[in-house]
Structure 1
Amino acid sequence: KRYSPHTVRSYRNDLDQFTNFLSDNEMLSNVNDITSHQIRAWIVYLIDNGISPVTVHRKISCLRRFYNYLRKEGIVKTDPLEKIVLPKQKKKLPVFVEEEALDRLFDSVNFGNDFSGLRNRTIIEMLYMTGIRRAELTEIRYEDVSLFDATVRVTGKRNKQRIIPLSQLFVTRLREYIGARNKIVSDTAGSWFFITDKGNKLYDKYVYNIVKAYLSMVTTIEKKSPHVLRHTFATHMLNRGADLNAIKEFLGHANLSATQIYTHNTFEKLKRIHKKAHPRA
């Protein structure tokens, strides 16, 4: 399936948690003997322990994929999840940062002119300018960025690649970062584009900490993760008239339905404008 390392880790943790639950409750048995009753008991256990409905859905989705694989390989003949029906979950609107807040971040916050400051600003701008995922950012290699063409080549889920254009203003920023970066890493061929202060590849938590620290300076939204900048990219593009299909391509979504969630943010904004401006609203 060519899932990302993050997805693989999440699925492995979900399966480990399920087997641990069975073991702790003396229900551990062969995969052929697991019943829908045991799976329902796990769902109840998760909910009783404060696990959110979204996370429960994901864990059961992991189990479904696992049993689909077992059936495909002929390891099991029946699927205990066929009788499992989860209640529909209410979709939450994507959280995003207001344009004014990001203007303050890029125009007023002092990132510093040393390598760390240049890199941190470039990371945040890259996430916001392109809408790429955190895992896609850390996988960018030096040769993926073309200053001449003003593009970045991104490898997304299932190893699908896409080319995203960059603004000339951001290309200027990239030149500054590259100049500082190449003083730390002399061998550029095949090396990672974004690196730590010691010249190593960035890891997920490193990027998360950078984004959270700087977003905390300009916004009070609860979530301040790299993925929020992805939501912000899509919402701002849509609010300014970008075509939904174009945004789908930028984000690397396989289906338009995944992109359509951002239209709800735009509609909510329209409702607020209508309520504020219309004399009988």
Structure 2
Amino acid sequence: MENSKAAFRDYLQLEKNYSPLTVNAYLNDVGFFETFLIVNFEQENLQEVNYSQIRSWIVSLVDGGISNVSVNRKISSLKSYYKFLLKTKQIEVSPLLKHKSLKVPKTLQIPFSEKELNEVLTQIKYPEGFEGIRDKLIIDLFYTTGIRRTELIHLKMANIDQSNSTLKVLGKRNKERILPLLPIIINQFNSYLSERSCLEQIKDEAFFFLTLKGVKLNDSLVYRLINDYFSNVSEKVKKSPHILRHTFATHLLNNGADLNSVKELLGHSSLASTQIYTHNSLSELKKVYGAAHPRSQK
């Protein structure tokens, strides 16, 4: 089993180009299932599993208070493992062949309003110096490019082409895309780089965004930064970098942007992923339609 898991890790890293976090999550899920098998069925060989055993695991997860969303994610990891075993001819049929995902309630992510974005970018007070300039740039970059949190964290100095006002982003599965930059962002870049050059020490020289100690940012710092600043202007329950990405797409669509163009900017592989943002745009469209159509007043 250990050899098989090591080969599975290589498959996820090298063939699927998954991030280290995703790889570890997949391996952990498979490991949890393996432990469940040993404890409940005294079985160690995952290649001889049947669906009833997997169903027992699902029941135990749900009974333990795990949400359907989390259960589906764990089963997705297991599916990937059995697809790998099929591909490497270690099994002939996946035990999850006829599995159907658990139903989950559809939740609509609520984007920030244009008013909230204007307030957070122009009216609240930022700290003096490096951190204040950096924080405002991060918020504006999220909002004007739709960049993902991990893409922002791993942004390199070499990825920025100020002469062409573009940004090269390394997205999911190492897929590169070029994003246009607005003049207001270029101006903020210059201010930030001036402050960055005055840091006492820089350990992670290659990375664009740094902490005061000169090291690259981490996930929790960026999440906390967005949550803290938007708590000053918004009462929405969820205030995160992903909501800013969601806001970027929604505001573009609300103002007439083409769905395919938004898809390219977001780095989605299919339109299906982008279409979730049209729900909010449709809501806005209904308001305009209701206010403007002559028959709406009758």
TM-score (norm 2): 0.87
Is the CA contact 2:167–2:180 (under 8 Å) kept in the aligned structure 1?
yes
Is the CA contact 1:182–1:188 (under 8 Å) kept in the aligned structure 2?
no
> Which residue of structure 2 lines up, in the alignment, with residue 158 of structure 1?
173
Q: Indicate yes or no: 2:160 matched with 1:142.
A: no
Structure 2 residue aligned with 1:109, among 113, 120, 124? 124
> Which residue of structure 1 lines up, in the alignment, with residue 223 of structure 2?
208
Deviations 1:245-271 (A, max 9, x none): 110000000111110111111112333
Is the CA contact 1:105–1:218 (under 8 Å) kept in the aligned structure 2?
yes
Give secondary structure in 1 for the equivalent of 2:72.
helix
Aligned residue pairs total 280
Q: Indicate yes or no: 2:98 matched with 1:80.
A: no
Deviations 1:55-98 (A, max 9, x none): 22222111111110011112223311113222454533233111
Cα 1:13/1:216, change in 2 over 3 Å: farther
Is the CA contact 1:122–1:173 (under 8 Å) kept in the aligned structure 2?
yes
Give secondary structure in 1 for the equivalent of 2:32.
helix
Is the CA contact 1:142–1:188 (under 8 Å) kept in the aligned structure 2?
no
Is the CA contact 1:93–1:262 (under 8 Å) kept in the aligned structure 2?
no
| Letter of the 1:109 counterpart | I
2:135, 2:41 → 1: CA distance?
49
Structure 2 residue aligned with 1:175, among 166, 190, 196? 190
Higher relative contact order (CA 8 A, sep 6+): 1
Deviations 1:141-182 (A, max 9, x none): 011112221111100011111110111011111111111112
> Which residue of structure 2 lines up, in the alignment, with residue 33 of structure 1?
48
1:217, 1:28 → 2: CA distance?
54
Deviations 1:16-49 (A, max 9, x none): 3323333443454201221211111122222223
Structure 1 residue aligned with 2:73, among 46, 58, 62? 58
TM-score (norm 1): 0.91
Unaligned ranges ≥5, structure 1: none
Unaligned ranges ≥5, structure 2: 1-15
Cα 1:200/1:25, change in 2 over 3 Å: same
Q: Indicate yes or no: 2:214 matched with 1:196.
A: no
| Letter of the 1:139 counterpart | H
Structure 2 residue aligned with 1:7, among 19, 22, 28? 22
Q: Which runs of 4+ in 1 moved over 3 A?
A: 87-91, 185-190, 271-277
1:191, 1:65 → 2: CA distance?
34
> Which residue of structure 1 lines up, in the alignment, with residue 142 of structure 2?
127
Give secondary structure in 2 for the equivalent of 1:153.
strand
Cα 1:40/1:276, change in 2 over 3 Å: farther
1:9, 1:196 → 2: CA distance?
26
1:215, 1:27 → 2: CA distance?
51
Cα 1:217/1:9, change in 2 over 3 Å: farther
Deviation at 1:236, TM superposition (A): 0.6
1:186, 1:258 → 2: CA distance?
41
Q: Indicate yes or no: 2:292 matched with 1:279.
A: no
Give secondary structure in 2 for the equivalent of 1:260.
helix
Cα 1:266/1:197, change in 2 over 3 Å: same
| Letter of the 1:217 counterpart | N
| Letter of the 1:172 counterpart | N
Deviation at 1:188, TM superposition (A): 10
| Letter of the 1:253 counterpart | H
Cα 1:197/1:187, change in 2 over 3 Å: closer
